[in-house]
A and B are shown apart, each in its own frame.
Chain A
Amino acid sequence: MLKVAGLKAGYGRTQVLFGIDLEVRAGEIVTIIGANGAGKTSTLRSISGLTQIYSGEIEFKGRPIKGLPPEEITRLGLAHCPEGRQILQRLTVEENLLAGYIPGRGRSFDEIRTQVYDMFPILKERRNSLASRMSGGQQQMLAIGRSLMATPELLMLDEPSLGLAPKIINQIFEIIITLSKSGISLIVVEQNAAVALEIADYAYVIDAGRCSVEGGANNVLNDPDLKAAYLGA
């Protein structure tokens, strides 16, 4: 589904990624974990075309996507639900969904909207509210729902649990599992490594812009060094 090889990227002259290799196979949940500032978000931003790439290759469904503008990458079926949710505050809930809808990908707006509303009933209840009036958890649901409007085959979620109450976090992760079962491949970037590793198939640990460890999520979960470093055990 997605292959990243030797990715080096940064912001102007400040390089932040020093050679990232990762792969997502169809139907997998892959998690990227690592400390603050390790380059998790930059990895996702580079894949989406938001961050300047110095060198390396990115292939999505066998097609090189490096250098494409972000909107065209999304239109290929690779959606990115960004850190901090980035809800369009001046639009209503339903307008946010409409903004995220991409026509011509085989499904009508009404069809996906119904699916999103079934998944997150609170969004249906508040469909005409301004997005800025929603709570953090509701905005996260809206952000995920909005990403689904693009009919993605691969969905990248950046810190979906950030700043949310434990109960909401559980709900979000259940949704992630549901999405995976419906056939969407996922990359989940998380600081909350323990939860992420529980639901993931495969994990990459990023440290100072490089992949330091990778492996099946269970192996990574039980790696004694990582436990000490990231899981606080």
Chain B
Amino acid sequence: MFDYFLQQLIFALAIGAIYGLIALGYTMVYGVMRLINFAHGEFFMLGPYIYTFLFSGLLGLGGLAPVLDSAIAIVASFVIVGLLGVAIERFAYRPLRAYGRLAPMLSALGMSIVLQSAVRVTVGPQPVHFPAIVESTPIDALGGMVTTVQLGILAAAVLLMVGLALFVNGTRLGIWIRAASESWTTSSLLGIRVNRAVSLVFFIGPGLGAMAGIMYASYYGIMQPTMGSVIGLKAFTAAILGGIGSIPGAMLGGFLLGAIEVFGTAFLPILSFGYIGTEYRDVFAFAVLILVLLFKPAGLLGETVSEETTVAKKDY
């Protein structure tokens, strides 16, 4: 039983880390713009596609060790998807700012369809093989089986999260993002170029989403154009659970949601004597969403969003 538990725990941490990374993009964008970026799941999907394209290109060129090709492709995917995020905000959301909160959100839904269709048309709708970054070797840990891929995902995700935390808490640009999340009016009076903070958030969020996508594709070995839809919604749930707008909340929400989902799926069939099977996996995330919205809409670490901030943003 213990080794089974341990195995599930590692699985929960790995999938939770992925949710957390995506949730960060939702929460940071919501923080500075009060916008739910429904296109965010597509950045997650684009990550592995762009990575594969670059990686096979570099591999074809030869000249470098495959490990280096892989590393370059990972960094470049972050940058490319990040810049795409910046461009989408600039051209699809910013011009609609003056028209309330609904218009950019609808534009985001539209962008989601555009991005997904673009990949479907160019690469095809069917699932494709994702090249392994790390060879999946099982490791025997305390009786449970852990794979190198799981550990790699966990390590990379924690590294990115720590890096982000250091950035937003310890640098001037990070402080700008936090200031803009609190009040655009005050930030602008302090000389902060709020639009730059917004662009920065739209670089980091999609970039992290792309990294999560690469992790997810490494885990399952495949990718497909629709992979961002359900995962995106689940990560959005994680952001709500942690308290949307809160960066530590998104990380916590991701790991919690991973745990709820994995342990729910693992133990419910046993507890219900087989009546409820693993096909209920996706139900857990959305049950959590409903419960949080009913009983603690501000989330675990969220603060009640004052209307003042919203109004101030409107007349800015």
Contacts and interface: CB of A to CB of B under 8 A. Distances in A.
A90 B178 contact: yes
Contact of A100 (B178, B185, B190): B190
A89 interface: yes
A82 B312 CA distance: 13
Interface string B163-194: 00000000010011011011101111111111
A106 B246 CA distance: 35
B303 interface: yes
A214 interface: no
A101 interface: yes
A121 to B, nearest CB: 23
A11 B181 CA distance: 24
Contacts of A82: 185-186, 189
A71 interface: yes
B260 to A, nearest CB: 28
Given A98-B172, A98-B175, A101-B172, A88 B182 contact: yes
A11 B183 CA distance: 19
Nearest to B196: A71
Given A90-B303, A91-B175, A95-B175, A100 B182 contact: no
Interface string B183-210: 1011111111110000000000000000
B189 A99 contact: no
Interface in A149-192: 149-150
A86 B176 contact: no
Given A50-B185, A88-B186, A71 B194 contact: yes
B303 A102 contact: no
A75 interface: yes
User: What DSSP secondary structure best describes chain B's contact surface?
Assistant: helix
Contacts of B193: 71
Contacts, number: 67
Interface residues of A, number: 26
A99 B185 CA distance: 13
Contact of B189 (A74, A89, A95, A103): A74
Contacts of A90: 178, 181-182, 303
B191 A150 contact: yes
A69 interface: yes
A86 B185 contact: yes
B188 A70 contact: yes
A88 B31 CA distance: 14
Given A50-B185, A98-B172, A91 B179 contact: yes
Given A98-B175, A101-B172, A71 B191 contact: yes
Interface residues of B, number: 20
Nearest to B182: A88
A80 interface: yes
A101 B173 CA distance: 11
Given A71-B194, A91-B179, A99-B179, A80 B172 contact: no
Contacts of A149: 190
A75 B186 CA distance: 14
Contacts of B189: 48, 50, 70-71, 74, 79-80, 82, 86
A94 to B, nearest CB: 10
B182 A74 contact: no
A151 B194 CA distance: 19
A108 B189 CA distance: 20
A89 B306 CA distance: 12
A95 B181 CA distance: 14
A91 B176 CA distance: 11
B175 A89 contact: no
A112 B185 CA distance: 23
Contacts of A86: 183, 185-186, 189
Interface in A47-93: 48, 50, 69-71, 74-75, 79-80, 82, 86, 88-91
Interface of B: 172, 175-176, 178-179, 181-183, 185-194, 303, 315
Given A50-B185, A99-B192, A102-B191, 17 more contacts: A71-B187, A71-B188, A71-B193, A75-B191, A79-B189, A79-B191, A80-B189, A82-B189, A86-B185, A88-B178, A88-B183, A89-B182, A90-B178, A90-B303, A98-B175, A100-B191, A150-B190
27 contacts: A48-B189, A50-B188, A70-B185, A70-B189, A71-B187, A74-B188, A74-B189, A75-B191, A79-B191, A82-B186, A86-B183, A86-B189, A88-B179, A88-B186, A88-B187, A90-B303, A91-B178, A91-B179, A95-B178, A99-B175, A99-B176, A99-B179, A99-B192, A100-B190, A103-B172, A149-B190, A150-B190
Interface pairs A-B: 4 shortest CB-CB: A74-B191, A70-B188, A86-B186, A99-B179
Interface of A: 11, 48, 50, 69-71, 74-75, 79-80, 82, 86, 88-91, 95, 98-103, 146, 149-150
